Structure 1
Amino acid sequence: MRVSFYLSAAATVLTPVLAVSSSTVQLNYTSYRGTALNNGVTQWLGVRYAAAPVGDLRFREPRPPPTEDGVVDADAYKPICLGTAAGPPSNTSDEDCLFMNIFAPSSAKKGSKLPVYFFIQGGGFNTNSNANYNGSGLVMASGMNIVVVNFNYRVGPYGFLAGKEVLADGNVNNGLKDQRLALQWIQQYISLFGGDPGHVTLGGDSAGAQSVNLQVTAYGGRDDGLFHATAAESQSSSSLRTVEENQFAYDNLVIRTGCTRVVDTLACLRNLTATELQEQNFNTPFPGAQDPPLYMYGPTLDFDFISDYTYRAYAQGKFVKVPAIGGDDTNEGTIFAPMATANLSDTDIFIQAQFPAITLSQLRTWNSLYPIKGTPSFPDSGRAWREASKGYGEMRYICPGIFISGSQANLSIPNWNYRWNVVDPPAAEDGYGVSHTVEVNAIWGPENTNGAAPDSYQVGGVNNAIVSVVQGYWTSFVRSYDPNTHRAKGSPEWKSWTKGEGYWNRLMFVTNATEMETVPIDQQARCAYLQSIGLDLMQ
């Protein structure tokens, strides 16, 4: 049964109403009391949007939250979801983790119909890596004209375990279905917080941006009216494996946990404590690879929620046609490729570990596109690190994102592409350059990302000026589906990626020098090859 049952089931109960207190919202299953901040924003933290996915609900699609009497104080973040290669449950992480956070102008009320920014965090589908960002900064940057929502979803085996046993008595792609249920929750309840369910921008970064693309292409591109624009940062494009191709991960987990001792291995996995499961929750090599990948668990090509590879879905127009922002960072791969990568063998082993379907012939061509000779070297790093990272960054992030922009332009869908090229001096000196998703710190505001922002983004830092620029574009897009309508004064026009002369146009963010650029010819050529083998790599 698809997760869409939630709306029809909820329709059988009373229509939710706004309570007397301006910060208390009465839902169909409980009431939540928010906190009005002195910055003019009210926040509701730790709002349960689904039942705890524990016990018999482990490895199943999300269910509606249970009824809870009284008023719940939504004044503290709840635990994030348990991650792969992470520790046991704690005060900050737990299997009971399906909560969201809502930030709205304190002046908002039911009927305000403010645009909604719904953000999916990244983490390679193995962690919740952008958890509990403070949405106040974006609300204020919009002139108190939007509502911001972020949330947790299941990752690792809890969200993406697949195998014939799971199909028989559970569900696959549960992390994506958590996201879908949260979107349905928005449709039912966000008006009570002042938001407009008919004006939702679906955003995300990294695996969250890949989630955006998978929601856009879900069920063959079926439009369920859950979102009306998208904003994807560093769109990951991992391989999509079938249930059968993911069976190895299920079998390995069963063996490591000792569940081979019983016939019903899935029941055995459900009966483990979260601590016991976490002890065996780590990555192993894909079949055909020599090393474990960065991320082993991930979306499954189930021919239902995910009906095709992402490259082909976009090429065939099987996606929801809405205005879109998409873009990447100049040095997408530097935080992923091992710094010790010293030679061709190290490089090829790393690439094969992530994409084991790559052939020797394709690796040979890949090596010719990313030669080690003549590339910069950095202290405490291997000679091949930067080219390995460049190739991986283009293969998994930049080139798939460019392909998606082109697919949207071919159908005359308004879309805007960008390159984040804001250089942080310490990161540049260390060789990381402008690394993966670093722009999220500027979009949310450097004080709102739990200390992750570079010092140069902070007030008084050399890159602080870029914050108001990108927030202007972002909040303008959330408000009007166009990044230019309400952009910051003095910011250049962000021209769209369109057919004809507008093809290959993207906005390059540089502190005090943001401008349009054309994707360099050499990058176009490398992307053409990587896109040509995308289906071979199951992207």
Structure 2
Amino acid sequence: MAAFWYTLSLLSLASASTVDLGYSRYEGSTVSGVTQWLGMRFAAPPVGALRFAAPQDPLPVEGIQQATEHGSVCIPTAAAEGLAVPDGTSEDCLFVDVYAPSGAAGSKKLPVYFYIQGGGFAKNSNANYNGAGLIKASGDNIVVVTFNYRVGPYGFLASEEVEARASLNNGLKDQRKALQWVHKHIGKFGGNPDHVVIGGSSAGAASVTLMLSAYGGRDEGLFVGAAAESQSFATMLNVTQSQFAYNALVAETGCSSNKDTLACLRSLDVGLLQQKNINRPYPGMEIAPLYLYSPTIDDDLVPDYTYKLFHEGKFIKVPVIFGDDTNEGTKFVTKSVDSVDAADTFLQNQFPYMSPAHTTKINSIYLTPDQTESFPDAGAYWRPASTAYGEIRYICPGIDMSSIYAKAGLPSWNYHYAVQDPTDEASGAGTYHTVELNAIWGPENSGNNAPASYYTTNAAIVPLVQAYWTSFIVSLDPNTRRLPSSPEWQPWGQDGGSRRIFIRTGETKMESVSGEQKARCRYLVSIGEDMAQ
């Protein structure tokens, strides 16, 4: 009899982590009080005829599927021609992971954090982050969702052919498909579909701004708040401007002689396609940009430049967080940059619509001899060029977004993440792009890439940051559940000021944006549309 009850209890435990999504049933697993469902399909495999197509509903599968391993990550753009599809990646990559407090499934309606990973729309750079740290920091009061979306040409190929016979911006459509999946199914995991907060880093933060301005700010009720970490305003092209990249891919893959070049690209073995999946220079440029394929202005999902849409008030009105790191550009700018000309070449390759007048002005702001710095194995103009790139692409857009929301009378918070790691300070990397993810998720949950000090001298910053973020996820205000020892994070625009929280171990406080940085940002924002941002 005892054996019978033991077996029954095991069956009950298993059924508690089994969810029925209609098209499939998934059984998760529990680790230290957090139940996780890994590698669930939220869309059909985007292969064969569905390559370059909008995401479709997942296919039905009989029986209970074990959701105990992450699904394959989406194939990245390659660093050089001739490379194979990387291990652990696949064209069949549209998988979602859900983390919830054990016992929440089917009984609770907890706030949901929907995280969009970064990677420059060229790779899934924050894949498989573990939501357990955020859940524990929230007091077992949230559900966390992570997922993959298509990148490179698989997600963002654009041309007249694609527009006519396939689909544009499929990476963004994957994101919206995942959001719609959450709205439909998250209640079965213990989440509240009417309280979803979207978040993201880098290209994921760019995706947050694109979700906020999607269809000109049409609110479909998919989320109630947004947090953008190092929001990225890169060059945006329309279909006509994107044609060169499609034509190059067609030529390099041998599809030029085919009457239907799109059908040819769709029929290629993925290994052959991947060998030619590289960044190519913009027309008129000699060196390829860091990232080529990205969201396309399609007069639909992405109706215009991000700057323009927000300045026209075409965005969803919800509470928001925007923010950046002190040294946003150091991980991107070529470290050997040792002259103004070399710095200009780098910037122009990233922003091909930068005019000579823009270049002259930017040089006068950032690239004067008195701004040069010396770091190991670095050119004298590396750090000044990094500062310029960081403010053009990340910091000034974030300040502008906070200002726009504040002017609209909406709750808006901004942060300056300035935690210093001794090794990174010595190398010149400083507080680099998206390093705050290690504090938000916890260094053990963010891919094991955290600076060593996050386990030692900077360990105290993790609970402080997690309290702000989980407070925002739960209450749409970073202050309601902040640590008692941490300062109040005042909204941007309070009393007409430009105040943000300065986050550094042992020194976290409110600060005002300096007059010098505000002046630089006014100029950069004023040329944002000219620069195709």
What is the TM-score normalised by the length of structure 1? 0.95
- Report whether the alignment pairs 1:325 with 2:318: no
Partners in 1 of 2:493 and 2:358 — Cα distance? 31
Q: 1:390 is paired with a residue of what secondary structure?
A: helix
Tell me the amino acid that sits aligned with residue 441 of structure 2.
W
C-alpha displacement at 1:371, in angstroms? 2.3
Q: 2:15 is paired with a residue of what secondary structure?
A: coil
In the alignment, which of 389, 405, 410 is matched to residue 392 of structure 1?
389
Q: 1:36 is paired with a residue of what secondary structure?
A: strand
Q: 1:230 is paired with a residue of what secondary structure?
A: strand
8 Å contact kept, 2:134–2:466: yes
Instruction: Report sequence identity in percent.
Output: 53
In the alignment, which of 346, 364, 368 is matched to residue 342 of structure 2?
346
2:267 is matched with: 271
Partners in 2 of 1:422 and 1:82 — Cα distance? 32
Q: 1:534 is paired with a residue of what secondary structure?
A: coil
Q: 2:100 is paired with a residue of what secondary structure?
A: strand
Encode CA deviations 1:127-166: one digit per residue, 9 max, x unaligned.
Answer: 0000001111111110000000000000000000000010
2:516 is matched with: 522
What 5-or-longer segments of structure 2 have no aligned partner?
1-11
- Report whether the alignment pairs 1:444 with 2:437: no
8 Å contact kept, 1:412–1:498: no
C-alpha displacement at 1:20, in angstroms? 8.0
* Change beyond 3 A, Cα 1:429–1:20: closer
8 Å contact kept, 1:19–1:26: no
Moved runs in structure 1, 4+ residues, more than 2 A? Answer: 86-91, 498-501
Q: 1:356 is paired with a residue of what secondary structure?
A: coil
Partners in 1 of 2:179 and 2:519 — Cα distance? 38
Partners in 1 of 2:531 and 2:368 — Cα distance? 23
8 Å contact kept, 1:46–1:75: yes
Tell me the amino acid that sits aligned with residue 56 of structure 1.
A
- Report whether the alignment pairs 1:485 with 2:480: yes
Partners in 2 of 1:510 and 1:355 — Cα distance? 32
In the alignment, which of 10, 17, 25 is matched to residue 23 of structure 1?
17
What 5-or-longer segments of structure 1 have no aligned partner?
1-17
8 Å contact kept, 1:414–1:498: no
Encode CA deviations 1:270-289: one digit per residue, 9 max, x unaligned.
Answer: 01111101100001110122
1:15 is matched with: none
Tell me the amino acid that sits aligned with residue 179 of structure 2.
L
1:95 is matched with: 91
Partners in 2 of 1:536 and 1:47 — Cα distance? 42
Encode CA deviations 1:171-214: one digit per residue, 9 max, x unaligned.
Answer: 00000000000000000000000000000000000000000000
8 Å contact kept, 1:122–1:208: yes
- How many residues are matched? 518
- Report whether the alignment pairs 1:254 with 2:247: no
Partners in 2 of 1:415 and 1:113 — Cα distance? 25
C-alpha displacement at 1:19, in angstroms? 11
8 Å contact kept, 2:14–2:27: no
- Report whether the alignment pairs 1:416 with 2:409: no
1:190 is matched with: 186
Tell me the amino acid that sits aligned with residue 27 of structure 1.
L
- Report whether the alignment pairs 1:428 with 2:422: no
- Report whether the alignment pairs 1:57 with 2:34: no
In the alignment, which of 188, 202, 205 is matched to residue 201 of structure 2?
205
1:3 is matched with: none
1:474 is matched with: 469
Matches within 5 A, 1:55-454: 55-85=48-78, 87-374=83-370, 375-454=372-451
1:14 is matched with: none
1:507 is matched with: 501
Tell me the amino acid that sits aligned with residue 400 of structure 2.
F
Partners in 1 of 2:338 and 2:105 — Cα distance? 58
Encode CA deviations 1:451-471: one digit per residue, 9 max, x unaligned.
Answer: 11111101xx11000000000
C-alpha displacement at 1:450, in angstroms? 1.7
When the two chains are superposed, the root-mean-square deviation of aligned CA atoms in Å is 1.2
Partners in 1 of 2:347 and 2:30 — Cα distance? 49
8 Å contact kept, 2:17–2:105: no
Encode CA deviations 1:337-395: one digit per residue, 9 max, x unaligned.
Answer: 00000101111110100001111111000000002423321010111100000000000
Partners in 2 of 1:50 and 1:242 — Cα distance? 27
